[in-house]
Structure 1
Amino acid sequence: MSQLAWNAKEATVGELAERSGVAPSALRFYEREGLITSRRTSGNQRRYSRDTLRRVAFIRTSQRLGIPLAMIRDVLALLPARSTPTEADWARISECWNRHLEDRIRTLQRLRDNLADCIGCGCLSLERCALSNPGDELASHGAGPRRLIEE
């Protein structure tokens, strides 16, 4: 594979894959999902603008944080199209994650703190469930692990 030159304005799918560490199939998937865009050459080959590298890094990092692709797409739509986002652009979109990440942190902390105990009925302990949740009273609060998601 050829390496992406530091001054290249565009990259092939192979060059972008090599530089970003993301498989070409994933890049095509991101494009189908509207997360990144490319132009087509006269030979119908994809060409990605160099700023796509930052977008792919943002997508991968967001995914590692557990942020759904639909939310990533919505936030990326706030960035300028086909140009390199500024520091202010990145700061603005990172604010979009704060509430979501705080909620996830609280949920993960509850999971960590209650994992060895009953998380209210999802159910990790059938023996203890009759003591902690007699008659499955938590079912009246909704489906899933109610103690984990309702604190």
Structure 2
Amino acid sequence: MPSIVEKTISIGYLSQRTGVAVSALRYYESQNLLFPERNSGGQRRFLRADIRRVSFILIAQQFGFSIAQIKQQLDRLPQGRTPTKRDWAKISTHFKSHLDAKITALQAMRDKLDGCIGCGCLSLKSCALYNPADKAATRGTGPRYLLGDRSEDI
């Protein structure tokens, strides 16, 4: 365990603190999400702030964000210094708007699950009302209403 005054930590310690496999940390490095330095022996040395960066990556992945989307947000953070609360607040506002949109879409899907979903099966009596003659198929394949199309727009 590094002392509190140590500025950098090993990849093993970062893995231990975050619960992320060393191989995943190397992958994050290859995707330019982490930028470790190398010591004279060639070993990776991470900033203590990278614990928070990795934690952010994990949370963002749980919310369904891609590595590219996560990288775009992390690129807003300063390199070479520990991000401040203000730095994190800035990137969180970008994620919040995406999450709000996802929440709205999920709520709409939830509310439509017990009715016609525009899948083209036409097996429910209500499909004759909401999707007569399979009009939803004109919008593309799959459950059109669950994907965001509205019956009144078709």
Q: 1:42 to 1:111 in 2, by over 3 A?
A: same
TM (norm. structure 2) is 0.83
Q: CA deviation at 1:33?
A: 1.2
Larger helix proportion of the pair: 1
Query: Could you tell me which of 117, 123, 126 is aligned with 1:127?
Result: 123
Q: Percent identity?
A: 43
Q: Does 1:78 align with 2:63?
A: no
Q: Which has the larger radius of gyration?
A: 2
How far apart, CA to CA, are the structure 1 residues paired with 2:41 and 2:132?
67
Q: CA deviation at 1:126?
A: 6.2
Task: Name the SS for the 1:11 alignment partner.
Answer: strand
Superposed, 1:23-62 pairs within 5 Å as 23-62=21-60
Q: CA deviation at 1:7?
A: 2.9
Kindly report the root-mean-square deviation, in angstroms, between the aligned alpha carbons of the 2 structures. Answer: 2.2
Instruction: State the one-letter code of the partner of 2:147.
Output: I
2:122·2:134 contact (CA, 8 Å) conserved in 1?
Answer: no
Q: 1:81 to 1:118 in 2, by over 3 A?
A: same
TM (norm. structure 1) is 0.84
Equivalent residue for 2:62? 64
Which segments of 5 or more consecutive residues in structure 2 lack a partner in the other structure? none
1:82-105 alpha-carbon deviations (Å, 9 max, x no partner): 211111111111111122111100
1:120·1:138 contact (CA, 8 Å) conserved in 2?
Answer: yes
List, as ranges, runs of 4+ consecutive aligned residues in structure 1 with deviation greater than 6 Å.
none
Instruction: State the one-letter code of the partner of 1:109.
Output: Q
